[in-house]
Amino acid sequence: MPELPEVETVRQGLIPALVGHRIDAAELRRGDLRRPFPPALAAHLTGRTVTGIRRRAKYLLADLDNGQVLIVHLGMSGSIRIERDGTDIAPGGFHHPRGRPGAHDHVILRLDDGTRLVYNDPRRFGLMELLPAAELEQHPLFRHLGLEPLSSAFGGVALARCLARRKTSIKAALLDQRLIAGVGNIYACEALWAAGISPRRQAGALVRQDGKPAVAATRLAAALRAVLEAAVAAGGSSLRDHRRTDGSPGAFQHRFSVYDREGQPCPKPGCRGTVRRIVQGGRSTFYCPDCQR
């Protein structure tokens, strides 16, 4: 669920509430997620001050004052909300009974200013883990992560380098976190539509014999960056579970061109096509067969 733009939206919401603040109390209400929380998580967080919040791929990273880093992943259905007494009804959001944990509130942190940070994950596909910051790059979850698509290093040339000789479809390649980190099902579909590239094309076919990007790869790199940036600016996409930290939904779902729009007309000006849904690698792909080639 949360892809790069949703995680980035959460990160930006957490910064003002969390950075420079001490965790006065931590409660682990349920730890049996798909990848269980460390049993001592609450004890290790208590008393720590958060010095910064980073994002890598779809992971949130909270740096602590003792050199440790808290890794947080939101899985398919996770969210983090900030509660301050009296302000827990967000514009367009939902109501949380003040101070009373809801279903699937697995971790609650109380900060030195009385703010509560609540980690909620109905499907329990998320994770939290604590480790020395210096070991992050070598951690199994991080060791094989590919390029950040919003970094300055990312572009047509970098994209071509990771697609070269790949036999898999370009859609599956975009979802492969070892190649590009942070793209999920929604933004893979949207970027391919914006670039006019069929999701069924072989990834390696976007690279020329000499290893340079074909025109399509250059277009795809630019489209991916543009769609991710627009989604971040819109606060991400809320199909169901994604919320900003104030409880309000993102707005990018109103701007989907193909995702979840099977049977609807292709929005590309001049295109008479109809959005189709196919299954690739067990996941839905939405695209326009007329203008995506």
Partner DNA sequence: CCGCGGGCCTGAGAGC
Partner DNA sequence: TGCTCTCAGGCCCGCG
Positions touching DNA (CB under 7 A) are 1-3, 6, 34-35, 57-58, 73, 75-77, 103-104, 122-125, 140-141, 166-169, 172, 175-177, 184-186, 236-242, 250, 281-284
Q: How far apart are CA 263 and CA 258, in angstroms?
A: 10
* 213 in catalytic set: no
Q: Which amino acid is at 278?
A: I
At 76, give phi and psi (nearest 5°): -95, -25
Please state the closest distance from residue 47 (CB atom) to DNA, in A. Answer: 29
Q: Which of 123, 201, 268, 283 is catalytic?
A: 283
Q: Which residues, including other chains, have CB under 8 Å from residue 22's CB and lie 6 or more apart?
A: 47, 48, 49, 50, 111, 112
Please state the closest distance from residue 145 (CB atom) to DNA, in A. Answer: 9
Q: Which of 2, 5, 149, 213 is catalytic?
A: 2
Of 203, 217, 184, 167, the residue nearest 284 (C-alpha): 184
Please state the closest distance from residue 219 (CB atom) to DNA, in A. Answer: 22
Q: Which of 11, 58, 171, 244 is catalytic?
A: 58
Please state the closest distance from residue 42 (CB atom) to DNA, in A. Answer: 21
Q: How far apart are CA 137 and CA 145, in angstroms?
A: 9
Residue closer to DNA, measured from CB, 48 or 166: 166
Residue closer to DNA, measured from CB, 23 or 136: 136
Q: Which amino acid is at 92?
A: G
Residue closer to DNA, measured from CB, 51 or 168: 168
How many CB atoms within 10 Å of residue 114? 10
Please state the closest distance from residue 78 (CB atom) to DNA, in A. Answer: 9
Q: How far apart are CA 204 and CA 142, in angstroms?
A: 25
* 167 in catalytic set: no
Residue closer to DNA, measured from CB, 48 or 242: 242
Q: Which of 3, 6, 8, 83 is catalytic?
A: 3
DSSP string, 61-125: EEEETTSEEEEEE-TTT-EEEEE-TT--B-TTS-B--TT---TTEEEEEEETTS-EEEEE-TT--
Residue closer to DNA, measured from CB, 18 or 57: 57
* 8 in catalytic set: no
* 3 in catalytic set: yes
Q: Which residues are catalytic?
A: 2-3, 58, 283
